[in-house]
Structure 1
Amino acid sequence: MTVVTLMWEARAAEGRGAELLEWARAQPLPTEPVRRETFTAPGDRVLVLTWWQAPCDAALPELPEPAADLVTRPVHRWRFESHGTA
């Protein structure tokens, strides 16, 4: 079966990176992905990747938008289809 990775990335309001990270890590999904990882980057950015065994166009649960005052812009979202590892 195809493996799809959903990417969710947000930039926290100034000085609120730790709060955004805590918020993202606390968000439940109605079904569990194969894998879920959370990352941070300079500029108070938080990235969450989830892996699913599903077709690329499948309806899959995603993290919601955080409160508007917690972020500087709307969340960026992308889907990637795995083509294996090298």
Structure 2
Amino acid sequence: MTIMWEAEAADGRLEELIDYVRTAADPSADVYRSRDGRVVVIDPTGRGLDDVPPELLARSPHAWPFERVHR
């Protein structure tokens, strides 16, 4: 199961949130950022991220489980 995790950074805290995610996410996870202050993690281990420092967030993160569709 893959987890897609998404969070919106608090004002002026995007780089700090990215730094946190880089160290906390599994090394196999892909990390993306948007121009509007969002961070998305695609984690193939299914672990996702927990315990993000709340001061880095504009709101609670969202996470969705996905299953691979083979083609």
TM over 0.5: yes
Gaps of 5+ in 2: none
Structure 1 residue 36 corresponds to structure 2 residue 29? yes
Larger radius of gyration: 1
Give the aligned partner of residue 26 of structure 1.
23
Q: Give the length in aligned residue pairs.
A: 71
- Aligned counterparts of 2:11 and 2:4: Cα–Cα separation in 1: 22
Match for residue 57 of structure 2 among 64, 71, 86? 71
Instruction: List 4+ stretches of structure 1 deviating above 2 A.
Output: none
Higher strand share: 1
- Aligned counterparts of 1:78 and 1:6: Cα–Cα separation in 2: 6
How many percent of aligned residue pairs carry the same amino acid? Answer: 31
TM-score, normalised to structure 2, is 0.85
Higher helix share: 2
Taking structure 1 as reference, are residues 46 and 28 closer, same or farther at Cα in structure 2, changes over 3 Å only?
closer
Structure 1 residue 11 corresponds to structure 2 residue 8? yes
- Aligned counterparts of 1:27 and 1:84: Cα–Cα separation in 2: 29
